Amino acid sequence: MTDPTETLRAAARLLEAGRAEAALAALSPLLSGASVPAEARFLEARALAEADRPEEARAAFEAALAAAPKEPAVWMERALLAWRLGDAADLRGRARAAGLPAALTGMIDAAARGQGARATGTGAATKRDVAALTKAAKAGDARTAEAVARPLLARQPGAAVWQLLGQARLQAGAAAPAAEAFAQGARLEPYAADLRLGRARAQARAGEVASALAEARRAARLAPGWAEAQLVFGRLALAQRLLDHAARAAEAALAAAPRADAALRLAAEVALARGRAAEAMDHAAARAPDAPERDLLLGHAAAAARRTEDALAAFAAGLARHPDDSDLRTARAQLLQSEGRTAEAEADLGAVLARAPGHGTAARALAYGRRLDPDDPAVRGMRKALDDPATGAEDRRLLHYALARVLERADPAAAFDHLDAANAATAARWPHSPEADRADLARMTGPDWEAIRDLQGESACEAAPVFVTGLPRSGTTLVEAILSSHSAMRAGGELAVLGPVLAELSAKLRDGAGAEVLTQAGEAYAVRAEAAAGGPDPRRTTDKSIHTYAQAGQALRILPRARIVVVHRDPRDVALSIWRNHFRDGTHRYAATAEGIADHIALFREAVAFWREALGPGALHDIHYEALLDDPEGEARRMLAFCGLDWEREVLAFHERAERVATLSFAQVRQPLYRSSKGGWRAHEARIRPLLDALEARGVLDGA
């Protein structure tokens, strides 16, 4: 027999985890009974609201209010729904008619208007006490705030008193005690958005990233129309690369404050992170000309849109106003590196490091751009900055990556020490979840694929891209460079278009769409890919979005003329190269631990094996990095034939024709084929034993 108490607890936990449909399923035994507990009806209403079923949620809330007409939590949750339904005025009148306390009625009104309730309870505090606390909080005078608040809280706690004490502590730099003060207030008034937001800020300041994100999410839910709550949540979500959450927060912030610079900036940065360069440019350009880092953001957006000259102009405009801005100069240098303009890039990076030797991004860019002598003045500056306790944690992390690259040949042991430190810091900041990765692959090769596979119809899309996919550091950039040197091809790079298109397609299929959506999805991909690749061009386009291997079947269903080339390399060399490299922050989270790298390589192999069986012979073309080095012409001929391209000897001179390369291989693809990295793991076998053991444990070394 089901335990009602445990069922209610389980449903509440599922709701807290954002799993509304699962919560409804857990509640179903209680909801189908003759007598439904009031709490079950309340949780049902919340879950329906979270599942975006507002009218059903309205009816469930009515039932919950009938069962518990004075329960504050039911009223507050109904108020949050009122923001979406647009019936705030009606609910406000009902709350007054129900004889609820004035303070609760005010909180209901604020929540229903989307602004979020604020802490109201003053406990034992008088107006004079509140005024003194407010003054201390604004000044960051924690000592005075403690002296006033402590005796008051001992007599009768008040959420507003805790809120002001938390503000004072946070202003004074005492982040952990501030978080505790906000938490104490939230225990008294759990629907006070200002307490939740204050705690999120304090936790973020204290380095408790996961806790801060969860608390900011609560604040954003409690105050959907309060721009500040959405901004704090959006920035934290963006920092953790939770881009869907960040995008929704940015949209809500813009809806609440369309011209606010902070909202425009967040919207631009989120759009940039999602690969929507044109949208990012629009938001960035809408900011005031003197807005902080406007030119930097505009330059990044223009570069992402492949408008190189516009990007360089934005960086130049910013440097004209702020000639000592190291971030602007470094960003320009990185763009110049990707364009192959090495001398100009190094001049910018040298200028930055001469002024700021501890600038981690510039140091990493210089070290990854060319081989530096360990006695180079820039390297001496990096070492000195790393020894300086005043150097910030983020710069230190990047300096470790830079020095690891510098010392690869001269002092491999020291290089690995730097790598260990850099990767440990990266893993701590962006934790990896192998369970989430496996769940994603199971969804892509399971229900997502089955829904598309079983449609009775074919896509009529004529677009014929060539997808180049594989593990990072396996040779995908090299293969794309060879392909794009063909006269009928152009290099698209990592277009980041397929994933969003397939996500939209899956949503339509869940809503009951038919086979016509296959063509629609293919055309949507073609339009977005063309824009992402730099505009119209009669040539076919390569797409090196390396995770295409996880969605190969879906790609071929919407783009039947596409070709998919899968690049393979000795997993030991791949693992070593991943371990040695710094990827864009927040991406490739598996890359900072030996276990994560081995997990990811195993998943890649599982995915390719699945698609090879599901799609049949000839659907994928496998090319092995080592075979390409041994027989470049033979491998290139076979690959071109698979792609429906005639042989052109010029593809073997790819290094003479390389265009913009925005990956870690920007330097390598401008050189002829070289064999020095083949079997490179052997020279470091003892030091990378944890990597090798992890690979062995997952069976990926069989036959390697």
The terminus-to-terminus CA distance of the chain in angstroms comes to 53
pLDDT at 703: 65
Distance CA 180, CA 124 (A): 20
- Asked if the model's pLDDT at residue 402 lies above 80, the reply is yes
- Our CA dihedral for 665, 666, 672, 676, rounded to 10 degrees, sits at -30
597 contacts 694 by C-beta, under 8 angstroms: yes
In DSSP notation, 127-194 reads: HHHHHHHHHHHHHT-HHHHHHHHHHHHHHS--HHHHHHHHHHHHHTT-HHHHHHHHHHHHHH-TTBHH
Calculate what percentage of the chain has a pLDDT beyond 90: 77
From-to residues of CATH 1.25.40.10 in the chain: 127-216, 224-323
Strands 620-624 and 563-568: parallel
Residue 331 tokens read as: 């960003």
Give me the helices (H) in 32-126, please.
38-50, 54-67, 72-85, 88-97, 102-112
Residue 665's pLDDT is: 41
Q: Give the chain's mean pLDDT.
A: 92
Inter-residue contact 579 to 664 (CB < 8 Å): no
Least confident of 43-52, 108-117, 535-544, 647-656: 647-656
Output the six-digit token pair for 552: 């190969």
Amino acid at 21: E
pLDDT of residue 672: 53
The closest alpha carbon to 530, from 470, 444, 462, belongs to: 462
- Higher local confidence (pLDDT), 275 or 27: 27
Q: What distances in angstroms separate CA 654 from CA 370, 647, 672, one per listed residue?
A: 20, 14, 8
The predicted pLDDT at position 137 comes to 95
What is the phi-psi region of residue 35: left when phi exceeds 0, alpha when psi lies from -120 to 50, beta otherwise?
beta
In DSSP terms, 3 is beta-bridged to: none
When comparing pLDDT for 664 and 382, which is higher? 382
| pLDDT-wise least confident of 28-42, 271-285, 445-459 | 28-42
- What does the alpha-carbon distance between residue 334 and residue 305 come to, in Å, rounded to a whole number? 15
Mention every residue, 6+ apart, whose C-beta is less than 8 A from residue 571. 601, 695, 700, 701, 704
Look up residue 214 and give its amino acid. A
**pLDDT at position 677:** 66
* Count of Cβ atoms closer than 10 Å to residue 253 Cβ: 29
Query: For residues 355 and 378, what is the distance between their CA atoms, to the nearest angstrom?
Result: 10
**Average pLDDT of span 482-502:** 93
CA atoms within 13 A on the CB side of 612: 10
pLDDT number for residue 1: 47
Q: For residues 357 and 379, what is the distance between their CA atoms, to the nearest angstrom?
A: 8
pLDDT of amino acid 662: 46
CATH architecture of 455-697: 3-Layer(aba) Sandwich (3.40)
Tokens matching residue 108: 């209901």
CA distance 564 to 549: 8
For residues 190 and 5, which has the higher predicted lDDT (pLDDT)?
190
CA 695 to CA 484: how far, in whole Å? 33
Express each pLDDT in 419-458 by its tens digit: 999 999 999 988 999 999 999 999 999 999 999 999 999 9
Residue 320: per-residue pLDDT: 95
Q: Are 95 and 108 in contact (CB under 8 A)?
A: yes
Lowest mean pLDDT among 85-99, 162-176, 383-397: 85-99
pLDDT in tens, 501-511: 999 999 898 88
Residue appearing with tokens 């396996």: 474
Residue 525 predicted with pLDDT over 90: yes
Comma-separated ranges of CATH 3.40.50.300 domains in the chain: 455-697
Q: How far apart are alpha carbons 142 and 171 in whole angstroms?
A: 8
pLDDT tens per residue, range 591-614? 999 999 999 999 999 999 999 999
- Check whether 664 has a pLDDT greater than 50: no
Are the C-beta atoms of residues 522 and 530 closer than 8 Å to each other? Answer: no
Indicate if the pLDDT at residue 676 is higher than 70. Answer: no
- Mean pLDDT value of segment 388-399: 96
pLDDT on residue 265 = 97
Q: How far is CA 542 from the centre of its chain?
A: 24
Confidence of residue 475 (pLDDT cuts 50, 70, 90): very high
Residue 212 is predicted with a pLDDT of: 95
SS3 76: helix
Q: What is the model's pLDDT at position 674? A: 53
| pLDDT band, residue 134 (cuts 50/70/90) | very high
State the DSSP H helix or E strand holding residue 351, giving kind and residue range, or none if neither. helix 342-355
Give the right CATH number for 127-216 from 3.40.630.40, 1.25.40.10, 3.60.9.10, 3.40.50.1360: 1.25.40.10
Please tell me the CATH superfamily of domain 224-323, with its number. Tetratricopeptide repeat domain (1.25.40.10)
Other C-beta atoms lying within 10 Å of the C-beta of residue 464: 15
Cα of 250 vs its chain's centroid, Å:
14
Position 656 confidence tier, pLDDT thresholds 50, 70, 90: low
Predicted confidence (pLDDT) at residue 659 exceeds the cutoff of 60: no
